[in-house]
Chains A and B, each alone.
Chain A
Amino acid sequence: KAGVTQTPRYLIKTRGQQVTLSCSPISGHRSVSWYQQTPGQGLQFLFEYFSETQRNKGNFPGRFSGRQFSNSRSEMNVSTLELGDSALYLCASSSFGTGGGNEQFFGPGTRLTVL
């Protein structure tokens, strides 16, 4: 099976712009979770989608949003970018989502730089 893919891999934006990141999960996986990784805060959970429904949401401002399509592919959007949004954004897929000890399979990440 192909692994989790994320596009684009690298992105440079300026403050105030918006950005959309994409994640394609492993075939058959219905859950996609998004994480933000920064040197200062480490890995922070953004949200999880399961069968097109948001199941969990982390403590991030409303500028961060996401969605999941019927084919389980997911996108996350960040509007009005701030310098502090510079990070590695990781998505992870699993068969049944969080809870129950399901292994999360991570993509390679999208490195976002905000200037």
Chain B
Amino acid sequence: SQQGEEDPQALSIQEGENATMNCSYKTSINNLQWYRQNSGRGLVHLILIRSNEREKHSGRLRVTLDTSKKSSSLLITASRAADTASYFCATEESGNTPLVFGKGTRLSVIA
């Protein structure tokens, strides 16, 4: 079953613009992770934010987490054509429970 729901389902922007993707989830979590998937291939881990953190940065990525609203956002700044991919949030509820993925946001960055 899906825990996270990403919004929007698809996003198209020009190179150099910022891209923001949102994720909402339903239960209490230990952490939330974001992954990227290039067309039909494996997923690549981008960033993890724990439930006691509110914001985290990694290069051009900024992730926020609002546990009161059960939501997270992923911001990619100064996007590049190579950022074109699907982005998934995944939540981990408690120890030894599997990651539960949302359905993803398809990002297209046009050069």
Q: Which residues of A contact B (CB under 8 A)?
A: 4, 33, 35, 42-43, 45, 48, 55-56, 58-59, 88, 90, 92, 97-101, 103-109, 111
CA distance A111 to B95 in the complex (A): 31
Q: Cβ of B100: which chain A residues have Cβ within 8 Å of it?
A: 45
Task: Offer 30 A-B interface pairs, CB within 8 angstroms, sorted by A.
Answer: A4-B42, A35-B101, A42-B2, A42-B101, A42-B102, A42-B103, A43-B88, A43-B101, A45-B98, A56-B96, A56-B97, A56-B98, A90-B42, A90-B43, A98-B97, A98-B98, A98-B99, A99-B96, A99-B97, A100-B30, A101-B30, A101-B33, A101-B48, A101-B50, A103-B33, A103-B48, A104-B99, A106-B43, A106-B44, A109-B42
Known: A48-B98, A88-B40. 7 other contacts (CB 8 A): A43-B88, A55-B96, A99-B92, A99-B97, A101-B31, A106-B42, A111-B40
Query: Is B68's beta carbon under 8 Å from chain A?
Result: no
- B contacts with A: majority SS: loop
On whether the beta carbons of B45 and A105 are closer than 8 Å, the reply is: yes
Query: What range describes how many residues of B lie at the interface?
Result: 20 to 34
User: Known contacts A43-B88, A101-B31; is A108 also within 8 Å of B95 by CB?
Assistant: no
On whether the beta carbons of B41 and A109 are closer than 8 Å, the reply is: yes
Q: Cβ of B33: which chain A residues have Cβ within 8 Å of it?
A: 101, 103
Q: Which residues of B contact A (CB under 8 A)?
A: 1-2, 30-31, 33, 35, 40-45, 48, 50, 88, 92, 94-104
User: Known contacts A33-B98, A45-B98, A98-B92; is A103 also within 8 Å of B45 by CB?
Assistant: yes
Residue in A closest to B1 when the chains form the complex, CB atoms: A59
